[in-house]
Each structure stands twice: as C-alpha cells, then as structure tokens.
Structure 1
Amino acid sequence: MVELQGLRVAVVAGEASGDILGAGLMRALKARHPQIEFIGVGGPLMEAEGLVSIFPMERLAVMGLVEVLGRLRELLARRKALIETLIAARPDVFIGIDAPDFTLNIELKLRQAGIKAVHYVSPSVWAWRQKRVLKIREGCDLMLTLFPFEARFYEEKGVPVRFVGHTLADAIPLQADRSAARAAIGLPEQGCVVALMPGSRGGEVGRLGALFFDAAERLLQVRPQVRFVLPCANANRRAQLEALLVGRDLPITLLDGRSHDALAACDAVLIASGTATLEALLYKRPMVVAYRVAPVTYWILKRMVKSPYVSLPNLLAQRLLVPELLQDAATPQALVDTLLPLLEEGRGQTDSFDAIHRTLRCNASEQAADAVLGLIEGKLT
C-alpha cells in the first residue's frame, strides 16, 4: 500500500460546474487526509478548500468555436506550461474535471510521465466522436462517471470506470416543498404554474424564447388561470427576455437565477435540452423538452450523433420518457398539445423520475474520493 502521508493531488477544472464538483471532491479527500496538498487550476470554491491555483480558472472558460479560436494560442501555451509544472511537482494523482478538450491531453502527458490520471465527468463519447474513447483509454487510469449508462459504455470499451452518482441528486431533496417555494418567489399557493426555461445562453434564448412565449400565450387561451415563472441565468439573459416580452400580456414572473425555486414551485416545465432537464427530473416536474439549432448544425449533428435521444431524462431512462420536440417539430401548438396532458396527469414521468433520482443519489463526492484514494493505493475496485 502507498503511504498516504503528505499526499499531493493535482486538480484542474475549467468552468463553474467543475469548480463545484472539484470543491466537493477536495472536501471529501481532506476529511480522510487533513494534511493533503492541492495544486492545479480551479475557481473560488476549490480555492476555498485549499487549492493553490496556478492561474485563474476564468482563462479556461471559453464557449463557442470562434471564441476558442481567438484564444487558442493562449490556451495551448497555458496547457503546455501546466503540464511541465505538474510533471515537475510529481503529484500522487492528477484529476481532470470535465473540460475534456483541455484536460484529456494533460492526463495523457502526465500518465506517460508515470503520474496516475483520473477524469471526472465523462465527455459525450457515447453519443458522438466515439473514437475519443481510444485517447481516454490511453491517457486515463480511471474514469469517474455521473450516470450509470456512461459507466456501462466504458466497461464495454475496456476503460477502468467507476459510477459515482451526481452531486445534484445528493443536494436536491427527494420531495421538494412546492408551497414553500411558491411563497419564496411570491406566487399564489393555489393554481397552475408552468416554468419556462429556454436556456442560459444568448443563442438558446434567441432561438427558443419567442417560441416558448408563443406557446405560453396559446396555453393561456386554453387554461386562463395558468401562471408562468422563468428563471433568468444572468442580467444579459433577463434583458434579452424582457425585450422578447414587449407587446405580450403574459402573467409571468421573471427571477434572477433561482432556477431551483422555479422548479420546486411549478407544476410542469417547458424546457430547453441541457443540464436543466436533469434538475427538472430531480424536482419530479413533468416536462416537455424542446431544442433548435442552426439548420446546418442540425444536419451535421444528425449524421454524427449515435444516441436516439438528446435529453438527459431519456438517456437515463434508456427510453422515450419525456417528449422531445426538435427543430421544425418545435412549434407553439405542438408544445401546448404535448404539455396539456402533463398538467392533468404527469405521474407517468414523475414516478420514473423518482426511481432515477434514487439511483443517482450515491453521495457522489464521497464515492469519487474513495475511488481516487483506491487508485493511489493500488487497489482500484
């Protein structure tokens, strides 16, 4: 067994979601080894747990092809310098959290230098670009997955893997208090509330915002007492949504953030495909998933993506559990026609949501820490 006194762990996260996961993992590792040392790159939550960040995590948080190309020289230089720094520091293990385009290469280089490498949060190799699994198998001693279907994929490909569960499933209660949530955001306790969640990025809101508002207006004609709630991801999204609401007379409450309050308060959700669908599932709220991308992007993705589903609830259920209305199928009337039955009876979805929640509720940070320490000690299970 490896002596774990003076344990040094290198961790790199590239965005806010990774900072949350990294902080939870670091906390669980510290509980077992209080003298542990953390180096690498992370955000404020990881720094609060003791990480000495080599450079600000914000330098890695780049979205979009054009933005990445504009920063490519800097990103490549930072990755090269980071690899050199970490090889010199000789940590007992390196953990790359998500950000696969940045971290997988680091894992490969460090593993070639004799440093154990872990990747936390699987990229979507099961859906597209499946050849990436070859690089993962070469560069990764252990893959930690949030979802069980991902673990099955890696087992079939010969990659050491551990399903650890999802921290959101640990944090969100099995049964949310709808009345308390409504009181917290100023909605009446009685009556039907539908959450509208057209995405957190400007492009998503641009493609789905007016569509969702058109659907809300049609729903209001059928159900005049319905009210709507919409959590805005940030000030820019709020301004964008307020502009789309000009000239409409919708009984809608816009929130600054507070997506969990919106989900806890509502009866059903009209939602963009993405991580928010997992949150809606965990809050046991019936949902209709919609998504639109540029026509050329959709044409390319249809030929590249291997999965029959796009939304996390369906991927987790491995069946069409929630309706997915994509591209031209996502019309205002289709959204209303699909949502109305769920307002009457959504148990067909929510009973399955509860079973999935319990499967994912594994105390993820503790599971991840156990797996990492097991790898260091050479008794990976």
Structure 2
Amino acid sequence: MASGPLKVALVAGEASGDILGAGLMRALKQRHPQVQFIGVGGPLMEAQGLVSYFPMERLAVMGLVEVLGRLRELLARRKALIATLIGERPDVFIGIDAPDFTLNIELRLRQAGIKSVHYVSPSVWAWRQKRVLKIREGCDLMLTLFPFEARFYEEQGVPVRFVGHTLADAIPLEADRAAARAQIGLQAAGTVVALMPGSRGGEVGRLGGLFFDAAERLLAVRPDVHFVLPCANASRRAQLEAQLNGRELPLTLLDGQSHLALAACDAVLIASGTATLEALLYKRPMVVAYRVAPVTYWILKRMVKSPYVSLPNLLAQRLLVPELLQDAATPEALVDTLLPLLADGSVQTDSFDAIHRTLRQDASNQAAEAVLSLIDGTLP
C-alpha cells in the first residue's frame, strides 16, 4: 500500500452523508496518516480534517419545487467544483450519496483520469434503472450498504464492494429494553408500542391521524398498552399535538430519541423509510404503512420495479413484514396485523437478527480498505 502523501476528495450533500464521510475519513487516517481531505462536507467531516469549499447545507435541498428554485446555483457550484478538483488532481474522488449531484462529478473526473468511488447506492434496482449505465461509465467502484445492491451491480458489470451499514455496527445486537424504559420514565412491565409516522410534514399529515386512530382501536382491545412517539423536530411535534387534540391516549412524546423509543418498545407501527432499518436492527416486530398523494401512487406503481417498498423486505428478499399501503392502510387493518405480533413476533425478529449480523461488517473500515485498494490498483 502506498506510503506517500495522499489527497482524497469527498462530497456529501446531507447529514447522513456527513456521518458516513466522517467514519470513512477516520478509517483512512488510521491506515494512511499522510492524507489530505478536500471537497464538500458537514461539521463531522470538517472535524476529521476536511477543507470544505462551501457549506454542505447549500446542497441539502429536498423536493422538486425547491430543487428547481435552486437549480442555477447547484449547477454553477457543480461546474466550479469539477474544475477545482481537476486542478487539484486528487488520488481519488468519493461521492457520498446525493446521486443527482455527485454522479456527474464522478463521470467528469473519471474522464479526466481521476479514480472515482460512489458510496451509498441510489435505488437503481427499484426505479430509473437506466442510471446504472451512467454509473458504470463514471464510477471505478460502488460501495453498497446492502448485499442485494451488490448483487445487482455485479449483474450489471459495475465494480462493487458490499461494506455493510454503519448503523448495524453502532446498534447493539441486543438492546436493553428495561434501561430504555427507565430513561423515558415508563414502567418496566406492560406493553409498549412505538408510533413512527415519519419525519416529514406530508408523511405526518397522512399517517399521524391514521396511527392515532389505530392506537385508540388497539387500546380498546389491549388496555395495558402504552404508546411512545419520537418527534423528528419541533414542527413535527406541534403538528402531532394538533392531531392529538381531543384524544385521550396513554402516549409519551419524545423530542428526537427514535433509538430510545425503539429500544423501549415491544412492537412498532411505522412509516416506510429508513426508520424501518432502525426498527429491524433493534429487533422490534413492525407493521409498515404508507400513504402518498393518489397521483404519486399511480405513477410510482408504474415506475417501481421492486415488489416491496420497505427495507426489511428488500433485505430479506421476501414479505417478512406486513406492508399496508394507500387504501389498505386502515385503522382496522393496522390493528389486526399488529395484534399477532404483540403475542409473538419471533418470525420477524429471528430474521432481523440474521440480517443485523450480515450488515455488521465494520463498514467504515471496509470502505477505507476498498478505497485504498482502488488507489493502489490492488482491488480484486
């Protein structure tokens, strides 16, 4: 492995990428102390020594309308970044997630003779599969968080390494339920159900009231149940409190602390999204629900190739957790599906444990090894 100075360029576009980037940088420094980091990242990456050309927040745009409003700035920043990095000639460029921004950079830099890596696969296996052609042209190495993604890229002829997921490394194989309940102020005995209707306003608008209706129905059957709901931020808390107005539910609202809620509960009623992976890693039986605008659902039904929407089912490659979508997501259906899991959720949780162990690969170190092997030309 090369021992001289190393220059690594990285670009992350949001907080989750900042976490991954910081872990990768830490692992690279342990193996190669003479490393310089340049690019774009957040406070965690800057704490590891990244010289960020501009604040990462300038890239953190969500929603079509918001992107269109900032498109001129984003394109100008990307053009300037490409020119700067071609001038700097790093040993490798690593785009962390944010595929709409980073894949173009990878392609241009690779054309200029700079090795490129993409860390976190976009969902090309589910929709817009033609993007894999651009990835194959612009990417020397794809680092995936999940094994099913790696299989897809192998079939498409893209160099790939499955490195595992940092959450699987961080979350213990067995969470302490009693300690989590004590921290929240809940009794050790009794049944606790976590309600997790999403982190975005639109999700909470469509699912919050539905989940509360289901909670009232469940309470009529199981009077011992207590509910816990982690609020993503102050705005979501205010939105949920408005939806709770007039209801009497034994419910504890938390500010953030989703991992604490998952550790404390016996089962979860949850919106489809990355939180389902966290519920899986905490080995909590779950029912997944989701609603979107009717037109969006009509479009997605025709675009998405995958038979499943939730990560646990994608990872298991079978219908492991119930998915109640659109009109199928009714309070009655949610309760009827959740009740058997409160009695015995082992069919789910045994599989969750196996998946957790598969994903627990020491991801940051695996990614660092792969990047350095690419630089040295020793990548298999």
Which whole-Å deviations, capped at 9, do the CAs of 1:157-216 have from their partners, x for residues lacking one? 000000000000000000000000000111110000000000011110011000000000
Other-structure match for 2:138: 139
Supply the distance in 1 between the matched residues of 2:118 and 2:186 (Cα, whole angstroms): 42
- Match for residue 120 of structure 1? 119
Alignment-derived partner of residue 17 in structure 1: 16
Residue 187 of structure 1 aligns with which residue?
186
Q: Secondary structure at the match of 1:379?
A: coil
Q: Kindly indicate whether residue 111 of structure 2 is the aligned counterpart of residue 86 of structure 1.
A: no
Give, in angstroms, the shift of residue 281 of structure 1.
0.2
The 1-side partners of 2:54 and 2:142 are apart by: 25
1:101 aligns with 2:100: yes
- Code of the aligned partner of 2:236: R
Correspondences of 1:197-276 after superposition (within 5 Å): 197-276=196-275
Measured against aligned partners, the alpha-carbon deviations of 1:356-377 in whole angstroms (never above 9, x if no partner) come to: 0000000000000000000000
Q: CA deviation at 1:325?
A: 0.1
1:250 is displaced (CA, Å) by 0.6
Amino acid in structure 2 at the alignment position of 1:124? S
Q: 2:150: which partner in 1?
A: 151
Quote the residue 1:377 is aligned against.
Answer: 376
Give the aligned partner of residue 298 of structure 1: 297
Runs of 4+ residues over 4 Å off in structure 1:
none
Q: Which TM-score applies when normalising by structure 2? A: 0.99
Shift of residue 103 of structure 1? 0.2
Tell me the distance in 2 between the aligned counterparts of 1:282 and 1:261: 13
Show the 5 A alignment for 1:24-63: 24-63=23-62
| Aligned match of 2:323 | 324
Match of 1:309 in 2: 308
- How far does residue 352 in structure 1 lie from its aligned partner after superposition? 0.2
Q: Secondary structure at the match of 1:205?
A: helix
User: Partner residue of 1:284?
Assistant: 283
Separation (CA, whole Å) in 2 of partners of 1:301 and 1:379:
41
The CA deviation at 1:4 is 3.9
Map 1:353-364 → 2, pairs under 5 A:
353-364=352-363
Deviations 1:9-66 (A, max 9, x none): 0000000000000000000000011120000000000000000100000000000000
1:308-356 deviation digits (Å, cap 9, x = unpaired): 0000000000000000000000001100000000000000000000000
Q: Secondary structure at the match of 1:196?
A: strand
Matched AA of 1:61? A
Give the percent of matched residue pairs that are identical in Structure 1 and Structure 2. 87
* CA positional deviation for 1:225: 1.1
> TM-score, normalised on structure 1?
0.99
**Structure 2 residue ranges without an equivalent (≥5):** none
Report the counterpart of residue 347 of structure 1 in structure 2: 346
Inter-partner Cα distance in structure 1 for 2:196 and 2:250: 15
Given residue 319 of structure 1, which amino acid in structure 2 is its aligned partner? R
Root-mean-square deviation over aligned CA pairs: 0.6
Secondary structure of the residue aligned to 1:175 is coil
Give the whole-Å Cα distance in 2 for the aligned partners of 1:16 and 1:352: 29
Corresponding letter in the other structure for 1:355:
A
Distance 1:239 1:83 in 2: 42
Find the residue that maps to 1:255 and give its secondary structure: strand
The letter of the residue matching 1:237 is R
In 2, the alpha carbon distance for the partners of 1:199 and 1:19 equals 21
For 1:150 and 1:27, how far apart are their aligned partners in 2?
25
Aligned-partner SS, 2:370: helix
2:131 is aligned with what amino acid?
A: R
Deviation, structure 1 residue 116: 0.2
C-alpha separation in 1, matches of 2:229 and 2:98: 28
The DSSP-based 3-state class of the residue aligned with 1:231 is strand
Alignment: residue pair count = 380
Give me the whole-angstrom Cα distance separating, in 2, the residues matched to 1:199 and 1:4: 46
For residue 274 of structure 2, what is the amino acid of its counterpart? T
The runs of 5 or more residues in structure 1 that have no matched partner are none
